[in-house]
A and B are shown apart, each in its own frame.
Chain A
Amino acid sequence: MKLAFLFLLLFSTSILAQNDDNIPGYTFDTLNPIGYVEPTPVGIDEMKYIGNQYITRDDSTLMNYITRIIQNDIDFHADFQFVGIDSFYMKMYEIKELDILGWQRLGADYLVKLEAEFPSDKIRVRWKLYDAIRQQIITKDVVTRKKSNWRVMGHEIANQIVKNLTGEDGIFLTKIVYVKKIGDGKEIFIADYDGASEIQLTNTGVINLSPCFSPKSNEVFFTSYLEGNPKLFKVHIQSKKMTKVADYKGIVAAPSISPDGNKIACVLSKDGNSEIYVLDINGKIIKRLTKHRAIDSAPTWSPDGQMIAFSSDRSGSPQLYIMDADGINLHRLTYQSRYNDSPIWSARGDRITFVSRTKAGRFDLASIDTSGTQYKVLTEVGMNENPHFSPDGKHIIFTSTRLSSGDIYTMDITGRNQRRITRNGNTTNPNWGPLR
């Protein structure tokens, strides 16, 4: 009798120690980036003045600021890292100015040289991109802007550098939207991708959530409690005019705009519980996609608009599912962890990032192949939620409580280079705008 009780006690502890690792066919594989390649080091020299006139203190500062914008942008990009002048190296060898060979010795594979002039009230920057190893010029260009547009100029130059080195458009002129607590309400804000030039879009005094850029128009769709129950609204970025889009019984929430900009996948509860619906861009129901007594939520479109991923607790706990855009061929995607929610489909189409409750009991961001394999955990600190991809599919923006009550962070798709974008706390629900 005693032996039997002892055996039962031991057996029960082994049951407690079991976790999701024992699900056949799926194994955790954390923090092992896929297709990881060392970022390419790019040296960016300080901007030099090449005009003939004396320049003012403000102009000198302007040159410095534009250089810093370019340096920050290149360092931000997943494929590159910024190499700056090593002051110790310069002093040690009594070097006043580095030539290309010197930059190559500092570790740069490429070098960007910047020269500025000030015609009338504008600034003209000549930039040149060099192959530091072969010590050859790759390309060069000239950009002229008003002095007040110094941020745009810096981002444009960085975009051109990225385009010449990767063939893809840079994301440095994209915008982000997010939700920030103001008084008793939560309002929608828009800013540059790096958090600069923040502008408030809504001023309702109520709770507004889940902002989502339209890929075609200059509008942001969001859920608002302006009229009591949550309904779907949109706000124009320039005029800040708010318009109601969808008003149905129950809740209208979690909008996701299709890549062609013509449809909205969202959650409606008008038939009793949360289901996924597809609406047209004016809010009229096209089709109901899910019919299950479970809670279905957080729809996200694939980049080709052919499939939708969403979260559902039909298996007993929130897990991710994929279905065709018309609701057929529904199948489960995730088996790792007992809680997976808030999926977002990569702009490249091959991976989905989502919130996963990890072994530590925290909410972390994880990503998975669309075939359901290669599960990777991307974060390690704080509670991390609301992921969204950049339009180039190489960066992720998300909310984290690691250093505050909630701020916006970015990282690349392998979880590296995590950066804080906002600093005021109480900031959540980011969404990355399209390339324009």
Chain B
Amino acid sequence: MKQGIIISAVLHILIISAVLFSAPFSIKKKPFDYEVIKINAVSAPQSFAETLSPIEDIIIPEAFPDEESFDIPIDDPTSVDKPVVIDKPKPKKPKKPKEKKKQTRKPKGKTKTKPTESKAESGKEIDTKTTDAGSPFAGATVDNESFDYPYWFTQAFNKISRNFRRTISLDGNVICVVSFEVIRSGRVLEVKIDQSSGIPGVDRDCLAAIERSKPFPPLPDEFRDEIIRITIPIKY
């Protein structure tokens, strides 16, 4: 009897200990715990003395930008780091625009897509280096050949991509062709489905993405016409 009780008690203690010290209940170190490091610029390691100013003794996690760099002392306009401008500045001559070259960007650890390259069914094919918005908008066209402003398309497609919400799970084999008209101020006049995907939910999501992205950036000053129509085959 006594032996049984002892064995039972030991089993209970083992099980309870296993439960208490298993992963869900263990005390974890909180993320982003701040280590307060008091430093003395004289005695600190060389790397700290170089990178930290003497008043900064709290290490801010990398997630937060350094707000100190944007502090502007409004009560002390005379304090200035730059030297006083005393040289008479030379008037600048406007530089002639260089030849249009297709520039390739240096990758900086960001994932950026390749330029959209696909045949257009009608209108001028848009050749633009879109960022993460690249692949869903391959094959986009504009109805005016003189509208050659990649930066405008980059911003417009980025905006559509940000506002795109998928409400249906599909594997990317469905295409819905939408078109919309943009006037000089960036206002959108008409959004419509040129070719339905066959699934009402997909058509609705594609239309909604364009609607949510209004208004688009204003058309460039150099562009003479008042309106453009953009057609996008959206892969869903």
User: For the complex, is B31 an interface residue (Cβ under 8 Å from A)?
Assistant: yes
User: For the complex, is B19 an interface residue (Cβ under 8 Å from A)?
Assistant: yes
- Residues on A with C-beta less than 8 A from B218 are 163-164, 167
- Residues on B with C-beta less than 8 A from A131 are 149-151
B 135-185 contacts with A by CB, 8 A: 149-151, 154-155, 158-159, 161-165, 167
Q: A280 vs B193: C-alpha distance in the bound complex, in angstroms?
A: 42
- Residues on B with C-beta less than 8 A from A105 are 106
- Report whether A60 and B162 are in contact in the complex, using a CB–CB cutoff of 8 Å: no
Q: A55 vs B63: C-alpha distance in the bound complex, in angstroms?
A: 40
Contact pick for B220, options A68, A138, A196, CB 8 Å: A138
- Report whether A49 and B89 are in contact in the complex, using a CB–CB cutoff of 8 Å: yes
User: For the complex, is A104 an interface residue (Cβ under 8 Å from B)?
Assistant: yes
| Given A107-B108, A418-B64, A420-B64, residue A350 in contact with residue B89 (CB < 8 A) | no
Closest residue of chain A to B15 (Cβ to Cβ) is A9
- Residues on B with C-beta less than 8 A from A101 are 98
- Residues on A with C-beta less than 8 A from B92 are 48, 50
User: For the complex, is A88 an interface residue (Cβ under 8 Å from B)?
Assistant: no
- Say how far A159's CB is from chain B's closest CB, in angstroms: 13
- Say how far B213's CB is from chain A's closest CB, in angstroms: 9
Q: A133 vs B149: C-alpha distance in the bound complex, in angstroms?
A: 11
Interface-lining segment among B42-50, B67-75, B224-232: B67-75
Chain A interface size band reads: 35 or more
- Residues on B with C-beta less than 8 A from A348 are 212
- Residues on B with C-beta less than 8 A from A35 are 161-165
- Report whether B105 and A107 are in contact in the complex, using a CB–CB cutoff of 8 Å: yes
- Residues on B with C-beta less than 8 A from A60 are 80, 82, 84-85
- Report whether B97 and A17 are in contact in the complex, using a CB–CB cutoff of 8 Å: no
- Residues on B with C-beta less than 8 A from A72 are 70
- Report whether A40 and B158 are in contact in the complex, using a CB–CB cutoff of 8 Å: yes
- Say how far B78's CB is from chain A's closest CB, in angstroms: 7
Other than the given A60-B82, A65-B77, A419-B64, 10 more pairs (CB < 8 A) read: A36-B132, A57-B78, A61-B80, A72-B70, A75-B65, A134-B151, A139-B220, A167-B214, A380-B63, A420-B67
**11 pairs across A/B with beta carbons < 8 Å?**
A9-B12, A17-B24, A37-B162, A61-B79, A75-B65, A131-B150, A134-B150, A135-B97, A164-B217, A165-B217, A419-B65
**Interface residue ranges, B against A (CB under 8 Å):** 8, 11-12, 15-16, 19, 24, 30-32, 61, 63-65, 67, 70, 72, 74, 77-80, 82, 84-86, 88-89, 91-92, 95, 97-98, 100, 103, 105-106, 108, 110-112, 129, 131-133, 149-151, 154-155, 158-159, 161-165, 167, 186, 212, 214-218, 220-221
